Structure 1
Amino acid sequence: MSLTRIQALVCAVAGLGFAFDLYESLMMPLIIGPVLATVGHLTPGTPTFNWWVGAFFFVPVVCGGLVGLIGGYLTDIFGRRRILVWSILLYACATSVAAFATSLPMLLLLRCVTMIGVSVEAVAAIAWLAELFPIHRQREAVLGYTQSCYALGGLAVSCAYYLAVTLGDRLPTILGSHEPWRYTVLSGLIPAVPLILVRPFLPESPEWRDKKNKGILKSPSLAELFQPARRRATLLATLMMACVLALQYGALQHTPRIIPGLTAFQGWEPRRIQQAVSVVYLVQELGSVAGRLLFALLVTRIVGRQRLLRTFIAPALVIFPLLYFLTAARALALFLGALFLAQALFNGLHSFWGNYLPRQYPTHLRGTGESFAMNIGGRVLAVSAALLTTQLANVVPGASAPARLTYAAGWTALLALSIVALASFWLPESESAAAESAQPANTINKTRLA
């Protein structure tokens, strides 16, 4: 795949945004325990502690989803590049200020602002890339490989937290202390620096810009998403995205709370357990890298979208139950292996929607349509899986609290995957993608970007 310098720069900026999207999203599961202990002075397992855990997992994601829907609408009105740049700056600045939070409500508010930026950026970046690369095979490859940068965000936050726990005592104090979670949160400022430097060289989407300049760009409308021609795709994509992200919110993100209950870590001191959590998270995020790259390799080789989707659904229906119902109670190596595979399959399913959604909607509706599925389905609805898992953990049998949480996560994941598998039979194929896929494999995009 041949890219010009400008195209490569565009991919790099979008990849950076994707990486720090996941960086911010995965940060809270890692730091929630220390945050509540040091800022709120709460004891794990108490009703107040559990309430704040739910608040930090639920409220920012819902706020991000609702405001992110508006962000998708603004992307269709003001352009892809402008909204992309400002959304990255928004979440980078908000998370850096959050490192200096002195109360739980203040931190919760800043996390809401952070997730708003994350939610808007994801939609703007996908629409931007889809329109900068009009040739089907090149566009599918670009979307696949740039979305693999999500996994780099998971690896980065795992390493950042490990370094903060291990080396925090040697760093300058923040508010008079060396709390590792503060250094981890502060690191979210990183993407703002290169973005400020390269912003003048970033092109707007030619497709959006040309229609805007000619005065033929229609105004986006939510109601248009539910017209007969688009209703089935919109509703199914929203439902299926909710179920795919339920794997993250209802199962995979609970890994840090499951790990202390594993037999291999019994009797360890708290600091060693936190280091172990970051190492297991690293293994989990290596699975993210594998899943994203596997999708990028398959997306230009498997034409049918239903067939591509089921390539990941079928093994996931086996691996997720094995992970939570069998391996978690046995050897650590089996647990890590199953966790790696589950994370890889989840990331393949997640990448699917970044390629599928842009071709379902015309230019004037692309940001709005993507945003509805990704933010209403993938955030507002999907985050309820976290509540389902925590409620199930109160009633399912188990020898300990981590064991009950493990089984509850397994049932949530199995339910979500079953819905995705059934719904995939009604998911419409992208007519434009199918037509474009007939182009020769060696076609190279010669479009000159302004």
Structure 2
Amino acid sequence: MTPQPTTTPHRLTGVQWVICATAALGFAFDIYSLLVLPLIVRPALMDVAKVKPGTPEFNYWVGLLFYIPAVAGGIFGLIGGYLTDRLGRRRILVWSILLYAFSALASGFATSASTLLILRCTTFIGVSVEFVAAVAWLAELFPDAQQREAVLGYTQAFSSVGGLMISGAYYLAVTYAGSLPAINGGHEAWRYTLISGIIPAIPLMIIRPLLPESPVWQEKKSRGTLKRPSFAELFRPEYRKTTLVTALMFACSYGAAFGAIQHIPRIVPGLPQVVHLARAAQEQAVSKVQFLQEMGGLLGRFLLAFLAVRIVSRRRLLRVFQVPGLFLVPLVFFYPAVHSLSMVHVGIFLAGLLTVAQFSFWGNYLPRVYPTHLRGTGESFAANIGGRMIGTSAALLTTQLANVMTGSTPFTKLAYSASTVALLVYAVGFLSSFWLPEPQRDELPE
């Protein structure tokens, strides 16, 4: 249900602003670290693996780089959710951000595809744990229902700011790579882009002493009343439906992003308006498309945050984005992505809006359906098993389907494959929403 404010929420204190800033920074750079891959995978594999785009070997490595880190993130992210309930929200949040930041730094110096794959795994693990810890931490630090919904919604919107930042960072790296210090004897833009992921570690080490632990978790821990989290408890009758439906729907949200939208940087170079450009100009065109997609995602997240305190039904709120996405996202990849760069600019903006908003929905929804001792564990099952393990497998499905899809070029085959996968996951997500449980009250379950 929509929070029904009975009192006016207090203004945020200085410490609460620091908390929001920390969460926003974490959300921004976890997406920054994830969305760098669609931008750099093509030049990185051409550099370290010496494979040609569009070949089966190239698609094989792309599939591995998209999916294997997601599996690692899913497994260790699930463990991280458990540790969030056992050891505290703040501690796990801080270490998860440091893990993905330093992994991003190291990946910029990779000299082989296998090394890059390993470091992408550790990056993904940090990101997977960060989301769960940050959502539980924020939800419990803001007990007022209306304020909590707003804080969760607007801080998660900074995930799309991270997407804008990575688009800008890649554009700058492509443009000025020749002026930067050489790495492994070259000036490859993808390396400098990856290295920039170290940025969030710097302010975090300064403000860490100011960050409080969740008072709800801390009080239960101090009194000895905090129950031990259990994965088996997620499948008890009172939580089973919630656990399974949210995992499936989270998987569909991720499936739309990884199975379609994140392939657009590899589709754009094949467009008639781009294919004959020099490589640097092609990458700049890709960066602009990525920027527009992130602008759409940013607007979608803010729209979700605005509607979250105004629409009563959580199902209805989600369908605001699911229903138009069911028709529009597959269409973008079926026609504009094959024929027109200008149409792609408009289409990918709308596709980003409708798809990315759903990620913020889960950050607002999940804390309201699990009790304190199970909150991190329940969130991590939906986000990491459903989203990051099952949902991201859509990336592998898309790349393998592209090998057998009809089309005159590898770019066309990939676009048609992405369209097919987008239609599938959007349809399954919409149908599943009819079984999504509605939270019973505004307050978080104890």
| TM-score interval (norm. to shorter) | over 0.9
- The residue number in structure 2 matching 1:208 is 217
| TM-aligned CA deviation for residue 396 of structure 1 | 2.9
| TM-aligned CA deviation for residue 41 of structure 1 | 2.1
- The residue number in structure 2 matching 1:46 is 55
CA distance in 1, matches of 2:56, 2:305: 44
Letter in 1 for 2:74: G
| 1:194 lines up with 2:207 in the alignment | no
- The residue number in structure 1 matching 2:376 is 367
CA distance in 2, matches of 1:145, 1:203: 20
- The residue number in structure 1 matching 2:94 is 85
- The residue number in structure 2 matching 1:119 is 128
| TM-aligned CA deviation for residue 432 of structure 1 | 2.4
| 1:70 lines up with 2:63 in the alignment | no
Q: Secondary structure of the equivalent of 2:254?
A: helix
Identical counterparts, % of pairs = 56
* Deviation by residue 1:149-204 (Cα, 9 ceiling, x = unmatched): 00011001111111111001111122332111111011000000000010000000
Q: Secondary structure of the equivalent of 1:220?
A: coil
| 1:297 lines up with 2:306 in the alignment | yes
CA distance in 1, matches of 2:308, 2:185: 50
- The residue number in structure 2 matching 1:441 is none
| TM-aligned CA deviation for residue 315 of structure 1 | 1.1
Which consecutive residues of structure 2, in runs of 5 or more, have no partner in the other structure?
Answer: 1-8
| 1:155 lines up with 2:181 in the alignment | no
The one of 12, 16, 38 equivalent to 2:25 is 16
- The residue number in structure 2 matching 1:440 is none
CA distance in 2, matches of 1:244, 1:41: 33
Letter in 2 for 1:115: F
Letter in 2 for 1:110: L
* Deviation by residue 1:87-124 (Cα, 9 ceiling, x = unmatched): 10111111111111222222211111111111000100
- The residue number in structure 2 matching 1:314 is 323
- The residue number in structure 2 matching 1:264 is 273
* Deviation by residue 1:411-442 (Cα, 9 ceiling, x = unmatched): 11111111111111111101123x78xxxxxx
CA distance in 1, matches of 2:186, 2:340: 38
| 1:35 lines up with 2:56 in the alignment | no
Q: Which moved more, 1:204-213 or 1:98-107?
A: 98-107
CA distance in 2, matches of 1:329, 1:30: 19
Q: Secondary structure of the equivalent of 1:430?
A: coil
Question: Normalising by the residue count of structure 1, what TM-score does the alignment of the two structures yield?
Answer: 0.94
CA distance in 2, matches of 1:180, 1:38: 11
Q: Residues 405 and 45 from structure 1, CA distance in 2 versus in 1: closer, same or farther, beyond 3 angstroms?
A: closer
Asked if structure 1 preserves the Cα contact closer than 8 Å seen for 2:54 and 2:410, the reply is no
| TM-aligned CA deviation for residue 362 of structure 1 | 0.4
Letter in 2 for 1:134: P
* Deviation by residue 1:257-304 (Cα, 9 ceiling, x = unmatched): 110111211311111101111111111111111101101110000111
CA distance in 2, matches of 1:258, 1:286: 19
Q: Secondary structure of the equivalent of 2:53?
A: coil
Letter in 2 for 1:220: P
- The residue number in structure 2 matching 1:240 is 249
Letter in 1 for 2:154: Y
Q: Secondary structure of the equivalent of 1:224?
A: helix
Letter in 2 for 1:170: S
CA distance in 2, matches of 1:217, 1:77: 9
Q: Secondary structure of the equivalent of 1:119?
A: helix
CA distance in 1, matches of 2:395, 2:59: 12
- The residue number in structure 2 matching 1:429 is 438
Asked if structure 1 preserves the Cα contact closer than 8 Å seen for 2:59 and 2:400, the reply is no
| 1:384 lines up with 2:398 in the alignment | no
Aligned residue pair count: 435
- The residue number in structure 2 matching 1:25 is 34
CA distance in 2, matches of 1:181, 1:337: 26
Letter in 2 for 1:136: A
* Deviation by residue 1:124-156 (Cα, 9 ceiling, x = unmatched): 000000000111111001000000000011001
Question: Normalising by the residue count of structure 2, what TM-score does the alignment of the two structures yield?
Answer: 0.95
Letter in 2 for 1:176: G
Letter in 2 for 1:51: Y
Asked if structure 1 preserves the Cα contact closer than 8 Å seen for 2:86 and 2:229, the reply is yes
Q: Residues 396 and 101 from structure 1, CA distance in 2 versus in 1: closer, same or farther, beyond 3 angstroms?
A: closer
Q: Secondary structure of the equivalent of 1:217?
A: coil
Asked if structure 1 preserves the Cα contact closer than 8 Å seen for 2:28 and 2:159, the reply is yes
- The residue number in structure 1 matching 2:110 is 101
Asked if structure 1 preserves the Cα contact closer than 8 Å seen for 2:268 and 2:341, the reply is no
Which consecutive residues of structure 1, in runs of 5 or more, have no partner in the other structure?
Answer: 437-450
* Deviation by residue 1:211-260 (Cα, 9 ceiling, x = unmatched): 00000000000000000000001000000000110001100000011101
CA distance in 2, matches of 1:321, 1:302: 27
Letter in 1 for 2:140: E
* Deviation by residue 1:23-81 (Cα, 9 ceiling, x = unmatched): 11111111111111222222223333222212111111110111000000000001000
Over aligned residue pairs, what C-alpha RMSD do you find? Answer: 1.3
